[in-house]
């Protein structure tokens, strides 16, 4: 299951997984774009599943995990990729800008992990968190994005320790 699969990194990951023989559930907010990705997955000879999901909606994340596990038969890999970047100088950004950034990139990612873990324990699967080198090297006008990706790095390190011995592994991609 790949979140944020409508474009960019998420779309590329979904297609790469399919090219390596995986059936893939794809999520995002734009169902029409998800259907385009599914058509490409099916051209690769694999099964795809559209599961519209805004990761800022906890119940939508819970439903998406259930739908992917049920409709594809199991959940082996979760790629928590949904995210975006808020840009601007800190002196010009409002609290709402920071909240928007963290709701998706941090809380949405954490809820994706939270609700996936039970299914991943059944298959001894893997969760991949899409972070960024920006978690370690900040640049001007990218404070919210860099801070959110630093949180992703911390979540990945924590999950790796918390999942020890469960059969589930966590990889953070920067």
Terminal-to-terminal C-alpha distance of the chain: 19
Q: Are 28 and 4 in contact (CB under 8 A)?
A: yes
Residue 65 has a pLDDT of 98
- Does the annotation count 115 as an active-site position? no
Query: Residue 134: in which H helix or E strand, if any?
Result: none
Q: Which of 15, 131, 145, 156 is catalytic?
A: 145
Residue 168 has a pLDDT of 98
Residue 9 has a pLDDT of 97
- Residues 152-167 have pLDDT tens digits of 999 999 999 999 999 9
Q: Decide: helix, strand or coil at residue 121.
A: helix
Place of tokens 């299951």: 1
Question: How many CB atoms within 10 Å of residue 89?
Answer: 10
Residue 99 has a pLDDT of 98
Alpha-carbon torsion angle 97, 130, 41, 23, nearest 10: -120
123, with CB counted inside 10 A (0-12, 13-18, 19+), is middle
> What span, in angstroms and rounded, lies between the C-alpha atoms of 138 and 144?
10
Report in angstroms the alpha-carbon separations of 167 from 3, 7, 160: 22, 31, 11
CA angle 53, 136, 171 (to 5 degrees): 50
Residue 18 has a pLDDT of 98
Residue 125 has a pLDDT of 98
What the block records as the tokens of 34 is 């998800």
Average pLDDT, the chain: 98
Residue 107 has a pLDDT of 98
Residue 80 has a pLDDT of 98
Spell out, as residue ranges, where the chain has pLDDT lower than 70.
Answer: none
Alpha-carbon torsion angle 166, 56, 62, 148, nearest 10: -10
């Amino acid at each position: 299951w790949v979140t944020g699969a409508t474009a960019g990194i998420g779309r590329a990951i979904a297609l790469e997984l399919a090219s390596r023989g995986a059936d893939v559930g794809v999520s995002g907010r734009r169902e029409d774009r998800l259907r385009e990705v599914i058509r490409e997955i099916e051209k690769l000879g694999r099964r795809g599943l559209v599961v519209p999901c805004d990761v800022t909606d906890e119940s939508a994340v819970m439903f998406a995990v259930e739908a992917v596990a049920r409709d594809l038969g199991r959940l082996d890999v979760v790629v928590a990729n949904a995210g975006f970047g808020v840009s601007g100088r800190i002196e010009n950004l409002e609290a709402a800008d920071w909240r928007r950034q963290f709701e998706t990139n941090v809380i949405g990612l954490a809820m994706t992990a939270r609700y996936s873990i039970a299914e991943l324990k059944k298959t001894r699967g893997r969760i991949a968190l899409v972070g960024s080198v920006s978690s370690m090297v900040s640049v001007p006008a990218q404070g919210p994005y860099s801070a959110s990706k630093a949180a992703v790095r911390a979540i990945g390190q924590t999950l790796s320790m918390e999942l020890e011995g469960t059969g589930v592994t966590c990889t953070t991609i920067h």
